[in-house]
């Protein structure tokens, strides 16, 4: 009965919301078919494509269809069309609305294939003030000041810290907007103990140190290779400095060991999480990890090692002269094809999905953060915890390793070559300069293969 009541209430809320949002809708009575092309799913399997269409329909378009019965959506997956992005956008029967990732966003902007949203915003008197300022600015920065797309959700990271560890070390708590150098200095002071008793100053994540380094250089827009020329760029003084900095920090012991057996609380429900297991005084986390910490405290209130007294602030910025501090991933990023014959109608869809009302209805059912700051639910009794994820300026993506690796497994191979040589540097088996030279040479072989054979089956795909 309780479940039935919940479903009834949600249905009633959607009905009320639909009525409110239709009152001044200029296309509520128009009959139109909008072609939607999702370019983010890469699996060519038609079953996967069909499933993704169903997910998109339910996640983004069902509510709009409920509000506008005469508007229909034709959903397609780029992976199922046997063509590339540019060809699909420029086809004789072009899609109207594109769902894309950050790299595709930049590529389409550079090719002048998207309709700018500013004229449509002015035409419909749309107010974007409720969108988190740093998120909106990042989208504008991608278009050199012009807004070409909006997204209802995003994922980002913040810096969490154990207040008790700070008090024991007699150092001031963290603050928003600190520099990386300041955080590393605090990490040195906070690091204490040995083996199972060790508490590291800072965890860059819960995987190996190279993944933390990847996030570190992404914010600096220090790329592994040039996306225009497909030439490796790691054999440079900038990369030498990064490897050198991380080698020194690792030698100082400020990062936790990946060997849980030698670490504290190795056989616990949260052994793989450095911060929840009490192995790190500070950690870079995302929203799911923060929710995991909150869950851990509720589920296991008697486990003393789980931090009870914690705070969360924005990621540290690169330097006092560079306010960029974070990488973000947009979820549901939508744009209008410049060749669409239904730009006004498509804008109404995007405007609705990125409205305050839609955000308040949908945000609690999402694993991501809402781009509307006032729609984000209170986390652990404080709205400020949620705001910590968006206080620093995100980087404008022109290179996204994770997205590239989802596009082609060989980009993962490219990064793993660097991982191997980075670990050899940390183990004292190779000099930094030689490691980067080797990575550059071997990585170039991979890039040549990617260029010469754009699509090659993953040798692990049959496992």
Residue 166: half-sphere exposure toward Cβ, Cα within 13 Å: 18
Phi/psi-derived region of residue 389, left when phi > 0, alpha when psi is between -120 and 50, beta in every other case:
alpha
Cα–Cα distance between 59 and 275 in angstroms, integer?
33
Give the mean model confidence (pLDDT) for residues 97-112: 92
The overall average pLDDT reported for the chain is 84
The pair of three-digit structure tokens given for residue 437, joined into one six-digit string: 């030279």
Give the mean model confidence (pLDDT) for residues 352-368: 81
360: CB partners within 8 A, 6+ apart: 372, 375
- Angle in degrees, 0-180, between the axes of helices 209-219 and 237-251, rounded to the nearest 10: 140
> What is residue 58's predicted lDDT score, i.e. its pLDDT?
85
Element (H, E) at 38: strand 32-38
> What is residue 5's predicted lDDT score, i.e. its pLDDT?
41
What DSSP character marks residue 379? B
- Residue 9: pLDDT band by 50, 70, 90 thresholds? very low
CB atoms within 10 A of CB 21: 19
pTM of the model: 0.85
> What is residue 359's predicted lDDT score, i.e. its pLDDT?
84
Q: Do the domains 2-155+328-394 and 157-204+255-326 sit in the same CATH topology, yes or no?
A: yes
Cα–Cα distance between 247 and 423 in angstroms, integer?
10
Cα–Cα distance between 372 and 132 in angstroms, integer?
6
Q: Tell me whether residue 381 is exposed, middle or buried, using C-beta atoms within 10 angstroms of its C-beta: 0 to 12, 13 to 18, 19 or more.
A: exposed
Whether the Cβ atoms of residue 161 and residue 307 lie closer than 8 Å to each other? no
Element (H, E) at 41: none
- Residue 209: pLDDT band by 50, 70, 90 thresholds? very high
Give the mean model confidence (pLDDT) for residues 349-359: 91
The pair of three-digit structure tokens given for residue 168, joined into one six-digit string: 């024991």
> What is residue 188's predicted lDDT score, i.e. its pLDDT?
97
What DSSP character marks residue 77? E
Residue listed under structure tokens 């994770």: 402
Question: Is 3.40.190.10 the CATH number for 157-204+255-326?
Answer: yes
| Confidence check: pLDDT of 57 > 80 | yes
Give the mean model confidence (pLDDT) for residues 25-44: 75
> What is residue 275's predicted lDDT score, i.e. its pLDDT?
95
| Confidence check: pLDDT of 173 > 90 | yes
Least confident of 150-159, 210-219, 237-246: 210-219
- Residue 4: pLDDT band by 50, 70, 90 thresholds? very low
| Confidence check: pLDDT of 164 > 70 | yes
- Residue 51: pLDDT band by 50, 70, 90 thresholds? confident
Better-predicted residue by pLDDT, 3 or 146? 146
Least confident of 23-27, 85-89, 320-324: 23-27
What are the Cα distances from residue 61, in Å, to 65, 206, 339, 353?
6, 36, 21, 8
> What is residue 11's predicted lDDT score, i.e. its pLDDT?
42
Judged by DSSP in three states, 189 sits in: helix
Cα–Cα distance between 102 and 153 in angstroms, integer?
13
The topology (CATH level 3) of 2-155+328-394 is: D-Maltodextrin-Binding Protein; domain 2 (3.40.190)
Percent of the chain with pLDDT over 90: 50
- Residue 457: pLDDT band by 50, 70, 90 thresholds? very low
Cα–Cα distance between 440 and 421 in angstroms, integer?
11
| Confidence check: pLDDT of 380 > 90 | no
Task: Find the DSSP H helices in 336-382.
Answer: 343-353, 356-362
Instruction: Identify which of 347, 212, 202 has the alpha carbon closest to the alpha carbon of residue 282.
Output: 202
Give the mean model confidence (pLDDT) for residues 138-150: 93
- Residue 260: pLDDT band by 50, 70, 90 thresholds? low
Cα–Cα distance between 396 and 218 in angstroms, integer?
10
- Residue 451: pLDDT band by 50, 70, 90 thresholds? confident
337: CB partners within 8 A, 6+ apart: 89, 94, 95, 96, 97, 98, 113, 114, 115
| Confidence check: pLDDT of 7 > 50 | no
Domain boundaries in the chain? Answer: 2-155+328-394, 157-204+255-326
Least confident of 11-25, 256-270, 311-325: 11-25
């Amino acid at each position: 009965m309780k479940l039935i009541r919940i479903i009834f209430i949600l249905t009633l809320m959607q009905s009320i919301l639909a009525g409110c949002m239709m009152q001044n809708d200029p296309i509520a009575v128009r009959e139109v078919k909008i072609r939607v092309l999702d370019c983010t799913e890469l699996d060519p399997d038609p079953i996967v494509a069909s499933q993704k269409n169903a997910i998109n329909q339910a996640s983004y378009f069902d509510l709009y269809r409920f509000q506008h019965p005469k508007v229909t959506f034709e959903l397609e997956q780029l992976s199922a069309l046997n063509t590339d992005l540019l060809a699909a956008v420029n086809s004789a029967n072009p899609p109207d609305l594109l769902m894309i990732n950050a790299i595709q966003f930049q590529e389409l902007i550079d090719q002048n294939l998207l309709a700018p949203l500013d004229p449509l915003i002015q035409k419909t008197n749309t107010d974007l003030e409720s969108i988190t300022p740093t998120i909106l600015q990042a989208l504008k920065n991608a278009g050199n000041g012009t807004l070409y797309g909006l997204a209802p959700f995003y994922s980002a990271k913040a810096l969490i810290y154990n207040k008790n560890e700070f008090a024991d070390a007699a150092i001031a708590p963290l603050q928003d907007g600190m520099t990386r150098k300041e955080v590393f200095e605090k990490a040195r002071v906070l690091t204490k103990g040995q083996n199972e008793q060790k508490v590291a100053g800072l965890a860059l994540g819960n995987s190996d140190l190279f993944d933390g380094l990847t996030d570190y250089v992404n914010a600096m827009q220090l790329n592994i290779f040039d996306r225009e020329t497909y030439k490796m760029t790691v054999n440079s003084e900038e990369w030498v400095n990064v490897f050198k900095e991380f080698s020194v920090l690792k030698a100082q012991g400020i990062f936790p060991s990946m060997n849980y057996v030698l670490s504290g609380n190795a056989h616990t429900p949260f052994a793989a999480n450095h911060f929840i297991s009490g192995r790190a005084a500070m950690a870079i986390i995302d929203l799911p990890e923060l929710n995991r910490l909150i869950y851990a405290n509720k589920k296991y209130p008697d486990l003393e090692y789980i931090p009870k007294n914690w705070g969360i602030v924005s990621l540290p910025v690169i330097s006092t002269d560079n306010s960029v501090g974070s990488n973000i991933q947009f979820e549901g990023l939508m744009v209008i094809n410049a060749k669409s014959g239904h730009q006004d109608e498509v804008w109404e869809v995007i405007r609705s999905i990125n409205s305050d009302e839609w955000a308040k209805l949908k945000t609690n059912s999402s694993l991501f953060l809402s781009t509307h700051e006032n729609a984000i639910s209170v986390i652990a009794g404080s709205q400020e915890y949620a705001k910590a994820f968006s206080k620093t300026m995100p980087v404008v993506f022109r290179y996204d390793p994770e997205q590239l690796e989802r596009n082609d497994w060989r980009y993962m191979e490219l990064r793993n070559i660097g991982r191997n040589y980075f670990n050899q540097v940390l183990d004292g088996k190779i000099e930094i300069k030689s490691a980067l030279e080797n990575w550059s040479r071997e990585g170039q072989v991979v890039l040549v293969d990617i260029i010469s054979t754009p699509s090659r089956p993953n040798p692990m795909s049959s496992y």
